[in-house]
Structure 1
C-alpha cells in the first residue's frame, strides 16, 4: 500500500495545494457574510453526517400529516459517518473530526486517481487527473463534512484494481463504496461488467466471479437494513421522497437547463453550463481508447446525477464522482508545459472555490 502512496506524493501534494487555495476562498467569502469556516464545513448534509457519527441512526421513522415520511438520517449511508465517529470518540469536535476525515480520504482519492491515470497513460496524466478532479466545480465538497471524497477514493482504487485485474480487491473496495453513497451503484455495475468481460475471455480463472458476487453486497446490505427499519422494500427511496428526490429520467434537469440557458439567474446559468460541460466530457471520453469499466462507470454516474429531481444547484457535486470523464482532459493537459499549468491550475482552484462559495454566500443555496 505504501509503495503506491510514495509514488503518488507529487499528485497528493498538488491536490492539497489546490485545496488550500479553494479553502482560502471559503474563508474570505465566509468572512464577508460573517460566517465562520466551521459553518460551511459542517452545515447542510454535514449536519446529518455529524448526527449519525455522534448518535447513530437514532431518529425514528415519522410521517407528516399526509402520511409521507419526514426527513430521516437513514437516507445517508453509514461508512463515512462511521469514520468520523472515530476521532469524535477521542474527543475531537464533530465538525473538525469530519473535516479531518474528508481531508485524509481526499488525499487517498488523489493517490488513487494518480495511480489510475498512470496505469492508462503515464504518471503525468495521473497527476493531472488528480489535479483536475481537485478543481472540479463540485470540489467544495472536498473540504466539507460530505462523503464524496470517500466515495471517490474507494471508486478510484477499485477501478485501479479492475485495470490490474485484481478482482478480489476490486470486489471488496466496491463493497465499501456501496456503504458510502447510493451512486456507488455505478461502480457496482462497472466492476461486474469488467468481470463478465474477463469471464467471457476466460481470463483469471474464478476470481472475476468473486468480484461479481462481492460487488453488490455493500449497497444491497444497507438498502436491506433501511427496508427492515421502514418495513418497506423500497424504504430508502421512500425516505428520499422527504427531500423531493426521485428518478425522473432527467425532466427536472432539462427544465432547469432551459431556464438557466436563457439567463433566469446567475447560479442557474453557471450550473447549467457545468452540466453541459460534463455531457461534453462524457462524449469526449468515448472518443478516447481506455478500459471498458471507465466508460461504464463515468456514464452511469453522469446518468444518475442528471436524472434525479430537485437540488439542481448540487449537480456539480453529484458529478464529482464521475472523475473518469476527466481522463481525456488530463491527457491533453499532460502535453502542456509546466509554466502553463502553474497558471491554469491555481486559477482553476480559485474558480472552483469561488463557485462553491457563490452558491452558499450569494445564491444562498446548499452546494
Structure 2
C-alpha cells in the first residue's frame, strides 16, 4: 500500500516534468503554480499588517486566506538553504505517506482489513491527488485530519483535539474535523459519562480560531480572513446554485471544459458521500461527510475550483469504492488503481502546466 502510494508520486512527478518541458515552464514554476505561489509568500513575507485595498474600495487577494501550518513547515527546510518548491515536495511526500497509513488505520476501525487498505490506495489515486506532491497543503492537512479521526475513534481525546486544532490551522475546512471531535465528545458524555472528552472538544477549534483571530489582530481588523475570502477570492454562500452554470454540457472553451469536468467530479463525489453514509460508519464520521460536503459545495467563487480537493480531504467518502475494489479479483483491482494513478498524473500535468485559470 505504501509502495503503491510512492509509485503514484513517481508517476505524477514524471508527468509534471514532461508537462513542464512541453509547456516551456520550469519544473519549479509548475510545482508552485496557483496556490503554491501564495504559500511561498506566506513563508517569505508573512501576513499583511494592512489589508490591500483596490480602487473599488474592496480588499484584494492576499495571503490572509492561506493558513500557516504548511508554509511554516516548509520554511523550516528553507532555513537549511532549500528552495520553497523543493521543500514543499519533501514535506508533502512525508506527509502524504503518513496520511495514507493513518487513513488505513481509520478505515480499519469500521471496515474490514482489505477494504481499509484499499481506502488509502483510492485516496492517493484521486484525479486531483497531484496536490499531494505540488506546493499545496492537502497532504499536511490529510495527515493531521486523519490523525484526529483515528484518535477520536480510539477515544484518545486530548490527541484528537490537538490533531483537529492543527487541521484547523492548516486549512479553513479543518473546522469540520473539530466539529467531528466535538460531536464524538458529546456522544461519549451522553452514553458513557466520559467527561474527559470535553477537553479534546475544547482544544479542537483552537487552530482555526487562533489563525483567524491572529491574522485579524495583525491586520488591525477582526474580520480580515472573512473579508479577504469574500472580496479577494469572491467566496460567497449561494447553497450550490453556482454549480448549475458549470454543469453546461455545451461547454466550448478550455475554461468551460475545466468547469464541466470539475462539476462532474463534484457530482460523483456527492453520490459517493450518500453511499458512504449508507454504510453506517460512526456517527461523527457521518457528520463529517455531510458538513464537509456542504462546506465544499455551498460556496461560489474560487471555492468552486477547490471543492473537489476539499471533499478529497473527507476521505471516508471513498469507502464505497474501496469496498467494491476489495470484492474484485486482484488483477482487476490493480488495473483500476493503476489507471487511476495515470489519470491523476495526466490531470495534474494539465492543471499545473496548461489550464488557463487565473491564479
Within-5 A mapping of 1:172-183: 172-183=162-173
Moved more, 121-130 or 236-245: 121-130
Over residues 95-142 of structure 1, what are the superposed CA-to-partner deviations in whole Å (9 max), with x where a residue is unaligned? 101111111111111111111112222332222111111111221211
Report SS of the residue matched to 2:192: coil
Alpha-carbon deviation of 1:59?
6.1
Within-5 A mapping of 1:269-288: 269-288=260-279
Match of 1:160 in 2: 150
Match of 1:8 in 2: none
Within-5 A mapping of 1:176-215: 176-203=166-193, 205-215=194-204
Match of 1:27 in 2: 17
Q: Pick one of 51, 58, 83 that aligns with 2:41.
A: 51
- Measure, in 1, the Cα distance between the counterparts of 2:301 and 2:170: 21
- Measure, in 2, the Cα distance between the counterparts of 1:251 and 1:304: 13
The number of residues matched between the two structures is 354
- Measure, in 1, the Cα distance between the counterparts of 2:319 and 2:260: 25
Unaligned runs of 5+ in 1: 1-10
Over residues 168-225 of structure 1, what are the superposed CA-to-partner deviations in whole Å (9 max), with x where a residue is unaligned? 111111111111010011101111111101111024x322111111111111111111
Match of 2:102 in 1: 112
- Measure, in 1, the Cα distance between the counterparts of 2:156 and 2:306: 34
- Measure, in 2, the Cα distance between the counterparts of 1:187 and 1:37: 34
Match of 1:234 in 2: 223
- Measure, in 2, the Cα distance between the counterparts of 1:184 and 1:96: 25
Report SS of the residue matched to 2:300: coil
- Measure, in 2, the Cα distance between the counterparts of 1:322 and 1:95: 26
- Measure, in 2, the Cα distance between the counterparts of 1:360 and 1:29: 8
Within-5 A mapping of 1:238-317: 238-240=227-229, 241-257=231-247, 259=248, 261-264=249-252, 265-311=256-302, 312-317=304-309
Over residues 7-30 of structure 1, what are the superposed CA-to-partner deviations in whole Å (9 max), with x where a residue is unaligned? xxxx22221112222222222233
Within-5 A mapping of 1:13-162: 13-57=3-47, 60-162=50-152
Unaligned runs of 5+ in 2: none
Is the aligned partner of 1:223 residue 2:212?
A: yes
Alpha-carbon deviation of 1:56?
2.4
Q: How has the CA–CA distance of structure 1 residues 96 and 124 changed in structure 2, closer, same or farther, with 3 Å as cutoff?
A: same
- Measure, in 2, the Cα distance between the counterparts of 1:165 and 1:217: 19
State the TM-score, normalized to the length of structure 1: 0.91
Over residues 23-56 of structure 1, what are the superposed CA-to-partner deviations in whole Å (9 max), with x where a residue is unaligned? 2222223322222322121121111111222232
